[in-house]
Amino acid sequence: MTTIRKFCCNDFLRLSTVNLERFTITHGVEGYRHFLAWWPQYFLVAEAPGNRIMGFVMGQTQEFDYPHGHINEMAFASEYRSKQFVKNLMNHLEDIFDYTDAAYFVDFHVSTSKSSTIKMFEEFDYVIYRRRERYFRGTEDALNMRKALSRDTTKKSLIPFRDKNSRAPPGELYTAIDENEADKDEF
């Protein structure tokens, strides 16, 4: 049975098994402590029997264009990377943003090379909002994906703004994704 709970300080010592992805932005102990101190309600961990960490998600609230939830990091141990598990953990965090904070949407960034992850989150009602050039380590482009929450009844937060410096033209959003590689990557 999986337990989803708030992250605690002792969990810092047990993250290495889930935090090994090349394009997962890691924050180090100081970064994790910062998020834990400022946004503890958005730092969730999924735990298997025997206290094994299966995965975690770390977020915060932001106020840029609309009040919204932003996912700073999510990571899952390889043996627990199933759609149902990821969806369950994400639903917990989305509910906090939606019902506690009345956020308009939740968003995160994903590497353009992670086509199966992109497709999976599209199945979870996320849309590609914009492309961020060289977002990961200055080399890999990222897609900013968003999901409207219940406060955004018109889905206005999903309509991309026109900013030539941060957004690819609509027809070019998928250009960096090789559809032939869809089954080769992990999320």
Domain of 126: which CATH number?
Answer: 3.40.630.30
Instruction: Name the pLDDT band for 105 (thresholds 50, 70, 90).
Output: very high
Map tokens 């965090």 to a residue: 93
Q: Is residue 144 part of a domain?
A: yes
Residue 86 confidence (pLDDT) above 50: yes
Q: Is residue 187 part of a domain?
A: no
Give the contacts of 28 (CB within 8 A, at least 6 positions apart): none
62-81 residue pLDDT tens: 887 778 999 988 888 888 88
Q: Quote the domain boundaries for residue 112.
A: 3-181
Give the contacts of 187 (CB within 8 A, at least 6 positions apart): 76, 81, 86, 114, 116, 117, 120
Predicted local distance difference test score (pLDDT) of residue 25: 54
Into how many domains does the chain fold? Answer: 1
What's the pTM value of the predicted model, to 2 decimals? 0.78
Q: What separation, in Å, do the N-terminal and C-terminal C-alpha atoms of the chain show?
A: 22
**Strand bridging mode 105-111 / 52-62:** unpaired
Q: Is residue 186 part of a domain?
A: no
Q: Is residue 88 part of a domain?
A: yes
